[in-house]
Each structure stands twice: as structure tokens, then as C-alpha cells.
A and B are shown apart, each in its own frame.
Chain A
Amino acid sequence: MENRPLEYDYTVAKMFMLTTIALGIVGMLIGVILAFELAFPGINTILGSGLAEFTNFSRLRPLHTDSVIFGFTVSGIFATWYYVGQRVLKVSMAESSLLMFLGKLQFWLYVITVAAVVVSLLAGETTSKEYAEFEWPIDIAIVVVWVLFGVNMFGLIGLRREKSLYISVWYYIATFLGIAMLYLFNNMEVPTWLATSAAGETHIGDWFHSVSMYAGTNDALVQWWYGHNAVAFGFTVPIVAMIYYFLPKESGQAIYSYKLSLLSFWGLMFVYLWAGGHHLLYSTVPDWVQTMGSIFSVVLILPSWGSAINMLLTMKGEWQQVAASPLIKFMVLGSTFYMFSTLEGPIQAIKSVNAIAHFTDWIVGHVHDGVLGWVGFMIMAALYHMAPRVFKREIYSKSLMASQFWIQTLGVVLYFTSMWIAGITQGMMWRAHDEFGNLAYSFIDTVTVLHPYYAIRGVGGLLYLTGFLMFAYNIYKTMTAGKRLDSEPANASPMGA
């Protein structure tokens, strides 16, 4: 065919880049508010007692988790797919008007769904299951958005010119399949109108209300099979997809080892799903499920570190780029946080450690060193890499990017160190007995002691949010005022120069 490079069409990628940034700001802002509410409870009524229902900790908490998971991260997954997918499959979105239409449809349906989620969670319409709080009408909308994503993914794959699927595509396929399976099974619920219509009424009470298909212990088992693996297929698999593409592209280095990526991929797929039981240690789920959860969590270090080491060794011989380019810094520190987080998790999954760690802030700290240090850094790095190529303009400010990196790194460190101390302190105080065998502390003693750590965590979160706003500003200025580029920046970092 014609001998010129393909022109890729980034319309849909751009749309999702915007929601990544917008929903990132929303989710992180709510997170910072929540953090300070725990340190200074007066903030619960920050908009007056009339609106306290909508600003208090418990009502906002699901909105925080869901807007960073389904808003920031999922948008980031979509945005990078609509960029990476075309490039590694060597096919342009512009070649199929159907795929283009479905991509845009997916975007607008996604925006509508997000709006519905915000309204319903603020109103307190929730199923209570973590990261699966939505009632069935929203669940159906989410499934449709996800199916459209899948149709687009396999559509592009069907049209591909490059016959071999690049590693990133493996991970995107796994993301699609994994989330689809988990989401469907965990959200099995019976709408109440099914029963009431049988009783001769159209509906009684809220028409959108439903009852979980599973009860008690079984419900917990399905929920944490979901909850744990939503982390796998939302915060790990697609983020690995991104780094496998963006690190080699940005650094100009080839992936260190194909065999290691093979081992890590298939290992991760097989092992990850078993580990959900570690959320239920010492609960009423069968003991063997708990033990399996513990063991497989430790085994999980292997494939997780496989990917991370593969990434770090990709930089072999080119470490000066880490010093020179803030973009490479984000990805290298991201892999490092990934290693750190995937070691910390298995440690917490050991039964005797879990006895202290469960229900405490140490778990919160663990989630956040993974999400802030790994997921957040990688998605921002991906968008920084994409921006000059998508908008055909140079990044507005490299020095702003460098300061952002250090501010956010400090934020993450303050966050997880304070939460470690808080969690272990509280866990030890709960179990402390005095010389007569009575409990040494009342519950409130174990709460008031956490105040300084909650305050430090709030500051850490605020620093991270500040960095994210700098990122948003930098991307905005790149779009509007960055120096125009005639051709794409070369592989080796444009920052390196």
C-alpha cells in the first residue's frame, strides 16, 4: 500500500483525557475534604447544617472512591486505549465510521452515567457494596458503556494491520474481560418491582430499589472477590498495559525481556483472582478460602514484581533519563511504588499481620500508596506523553512538571507513613490488655490518638491534589498555548533535550 505513516484519529482519546482530568480533580478534592473531616470533624458541616446531609463523611465517602475508580482511572483507561490501541494495532479510528460513532456514543453515555452516579450517591441511593454502590438502572448503563468499549477494542483488533498483539493489548483485553465478569456477578440483584408487580402493584416505594441476590457470608465472599479484583483489573492490569507502552516509547528503550512479560502476564491472570479471601480473614467465610487468599497473596509477589522489574530493567544503561526527564521520573517511581505496594499487600494478607492491620488505617495507607504512587503517576505520565502527539503542541512547562513531581511525591510519602503509624497504633491499642486481663483502652482512646496522623494525611492529600491541579493547568496550557509542533516528538524524551 501507500508508503507513508498512518494518521491516527484521537477524537475519542481527547474526550476521555478531559474526563480523566476533570473527574480526577473531583475525586481527589473530595478525598482531601474527607481526610480533613476525620482530623477536624467541624468540616462535616462546612456548608451549614442544612446541607450537612450531603457534606458529611459517610455520604461523601463512596463518591470519593467511585470518582477516582470509575471516573479518573476508568477514563484514563479509555483515553489511553483510544490512543495506544490504534498505534500498536496500526489502524486508525478514522478508517471505520462505525467504530468512531460507537466510541463517541460510549463517551457520551459514560458522561450521562457519571452524572447519574453523582446524583444518586449524594442522595444516598446506594447498595452499600464497596465500589459497586450503584442501583440496577445505573449498573445497566455501566454494562452498556463497557460493552461499547469491548466492541471498539475487538473492532480495532479485527481491523488491525499488525498481526501480533503487543503486550499492552493483552492487558487491555484482560481488563475488559476481568471487569465484565466481576461486575456482572457482584451486582446480581433482584429489583423490588419484580416482586411487587407479582403482587398486583406496579411498584411500591422506590422503583429503582433492589435486593442483593446473595445473603450474608456468601454476599461478602462475592463482594471481596469483586472488590479485590476490581483493584486487579482496574488499578493493576490496565496500568501495566500503559507502562508497557509509554515507558519504551518515552525512553526509546526496548522492553527488557519478552519472557518475563509472558510469565508476569499469565501469572498475574491466574493468581490474582484467588487472593480476594485475604479481605475476609478471621471472618465467617470458610477457613480454607481464607488460607487460599493468604497463600495466593504471597505468590502474587512473583508476577507483580516480574512486571515492575521488567520495567526498571528496560531503563538499563539509560538511567540518566531519570534525572533529565520528569516524565520518566513519574514512570520509574510509579513502577517502584508498584513493587512497594505489591509487597506491602501480601504482608498484610498474612493472617497474624492481618489480625492487627484489618479495619485500621494501615489498609487505607496501602491502597493509597498504590493508587497515588502507581496508578495516579502512571496515568498522568501517559497523558503527558500523549498531549504533544494528540494536540500537536509541546508540553507547556517542563519545570512545572518537575515541581509537580516532587510535590506529589512528598504528598504520597506523608500519606502512607502517617497511615502506617495510625493503623499499627490503633491495631495494637485495640488488642492491648492490662495486667488484670481487662482491655487497656476504651475505643475512643484509640480514636483521639490518631488526630495528628489524620492531620498529616490531610496535608499529604492536599499536596497531591495541588500537584494534580498543576498537571491539569499544564495540560490546559499545552492545549491552548504550547509551542506548535510540525511533527511528532521523537521516541527519546522531549524533556531529555
Chain B
Amino acid sequence: MFHWLEKHPFFFAVGVFAAIAFAGLVEIVPNFAQQSRPVIGTTPYSTLELAGRQVYIKNSCNACHSQLIRPFKSETDRYGHYSLSGEYAYDRPFLWGSKRTGPDLHRVGNYRTTDWHENHMKDPAAIVPGSIMPKYTWLYKNVTDIDTAFAEQLTDAQFFAVPYNKPVPMKDGSTKIVKLGKSVAEANAMALAEAKIVAKDMKDQDIKDAIASGKIPEIVALIAYLNSLK
């Protein structure tokens, strides 16, 4: 049979394809029938948070930080409850990372504050002596791209049925509605309003000035995203 295959490239290729596609069919396809359902308390990202997530991706924070707490005592002691599948229901793409040069960030919102991030991102070694994380000074100058985040939200709502403008169950039994802007202008206004709340806890005068003039520096969006990780 093998000798015959080696003389018939088409059937050879078909054979190879069958051999390599088989594992994917068995291991991956069944999981799509069972899409992960969000756990209670998991909400879609607001425009500013999603923009912050894009800043996180743009700077490949995931190259050094994981967002996956494994079910070991040493990890739950350090980072909090181990990660659940449903918590990632709105994560497109997933950001688990593959290397922890720095600590896990899946629940960083529980134990770090806006103030801490503001100082840390400017000069990590000044806050954590011995840190090898670079300074992210440009985040304080670059302006956040809210439009692209809004476009991503529209895509999420339209193609993936992400429940914007719909009540989402919370842990305390209440519900929460994450609003989606009706236009680019409204999305920007909503993001700015949210950015003002974050910036209230920040000390950098340039940031405050930028917000006052209607611009959102990338650091503000990034902190909004990090604070949402709980």
C-alpha cells in the first residue's frame, strides 16, 4: 500500500491530510458544540476597558504576564481563586500567555489600585525594587484609539451575540447592563466619562489635562482594563 501511495501523490496527500486532521476533529470540534457559558458576574467589556485591552495587546503584555491561575495552593494563595472557563467567555482573543516573566494578572484588579499602576508603569523598578519590567512611558502620551474599540464591540454584539444593552446577572443577585454606544460620538463620550472616574485617582497633571481636553491617554484605558480583572 505504501509503495503504491508513494507513486500516487494525490492519494498520498489525501492520506497525509486524513492522518493529521483526525486529531483536530476528535479533540477540538466537540468543544465548539459546548461554547463556554459566562459565569455569573462576568460582564462584557465597556468601551474603555476594551480599548485598554487593545493597549494591553498592542504592547504584548501577554508576552510576560499570564492570565490563568492554576488550581494549586501556591497559585490560589498568590493570585486568588483559580480561573474558571466561563470567566473568559467574552475574551476574544484569550490572553492566558505562555510565560510568567512577571506575575499572573487574571485577578490583578482585586489587589492593585489605579494609583499603584500609575506609578508602577512609569518606573516599575522604583515601585518594586529589582523589577526587570521596562518603563512604559509612552502610554502616558499616546492617545487611546476608542473608535477601534467601539468597532470591536459592534462586531462582538453583531457576530457573537455578546449581551450589550442587556441585563447580565451579578453575584449579589442584581443585574448589570453594559451599554453600547449608538454612534461613534456616543461611544467616545461614554469612554471619556469612564476615563474621568479612573483619572480622578491619578496624580499626573498631564493626564488630568489631557482628560480635561477630551483626550484619553493609553495608560488610563489600560488601568480601566486591569481594574476590571477580578
Whether A associates with B in a native complex is yes
- Is B155's CB under 8 angstroms from A190's CB? yes
Give the complex CA separation of A178 and B16 in angstroms.
9
Give the complex CA separation of A225 and B75 in angstroms.
25
Contact string against A for B residues 50-89, beta-carbon threshold 8 Å, 1 for contact and 0 otherwise: 0000000111111110101011111101100001110111
- Is B78's CB under 8 angstroms from A439's CB? yes
Q: How far is the CB of B11 from chain A (nearest CB, A)?
A: 11
- Is B12's CB under 8 angstroms from A173's CB? yes
B31 contact from A163, A174, A218, A438, Cβ within 8 A: A218
Give the complex CA separation of A376 and B187 in angstroms.
50
Question: B1-60: which have CB < 8 Å to A?
Answer: 2-3, 6-7, 9, 12-13, 16-17, 19-24, 27-28, 31-32, 35-36, 57-60
What residues of chain B lie closer than 8 Å to A211, measured between beta carbons?
92, 152, 155-156, 159-160
Give the complex CA separation of A356 and B62 in angstroms.
20
Give the complex CA separation of A217 and B87 in angstroms.
9
Question: B114-141: which have CB < 8 Å to A?
Answer: 125, 128-138
A219 contact from B84, B92, B150, Cβ within 8 A: B92
What residues of chain A lie closer than 8 Å to B6, measured between beta carbons?
164-165, 170
- In the complex, which residue of chain B has the Cβ closest to the Cβ of A449? B130
Interface band, chain A: 35 or more
Give the complex CA separation of A443 and B131 in angstroms.
10
Interface centre among B3, B16, B148 (most CB of A within 10 A): B16
Interface band, chain B: 35 or more
A439 contact from B77, B89, B98, B159, Cβ within 8 A: B77
Give the complex CA separation of A208 and B227 in angstroms.
28
- In the complex, which residue of chain A has the Cβ closest to the Cβ of B96? A220
- Is B155's CB under 8 angstroms from A192's CB? yes
Give the complex CA separation of A432 and B75 in angstroms.
11
What residues of chain B lie closer than 8 Å to A57, measured between beta carbons?
63-64, 134
Give the complex CA separation of A289 and B25 in angstroms.
12
- Residues on A lying within 8 angstroms of B by beta carbon are 37-38, 41, 44-45, 49, 52-53, 56-59, 61-62, 124-130, 154, 157-158, 163-165, 170, 173-174, 177-178, 181, 185, 190, 192-196, 198-199, 201, 203-206, 209, 211-212, 214-223, 225, 262, 266, 269-270, 272-274, 276-277, 279, 282-286, 289, 292, 296, 355, 358-361, 363-364, 430-433, 438-439, 443-444, 447-448
13 contacts between A and B (CB under 8 A): A37-B132, A59-B60, A62-B63, A164-B3, A173-B13, A190-B155, A192-B148, A195-B154, A206-B148, A215-B35, A217-B94, A269-B16, A363-B98
Question: 3 shortest A-B CB distances, which residue pairs?
Answer: A216-B88, A205-B148, A205-B147
Known pairs A53-B138, A217-B85; list 16 more (Cβ under 8 Å).
A44-B135, A45-B134, A52-B134, A56-B134, A57-B134, A61-B60, A173-B9, A198-B158, A204-B151, A216-B36, A225-B24, A273-B22, A283-B70, A355-B72, A359-B97, A361-B99
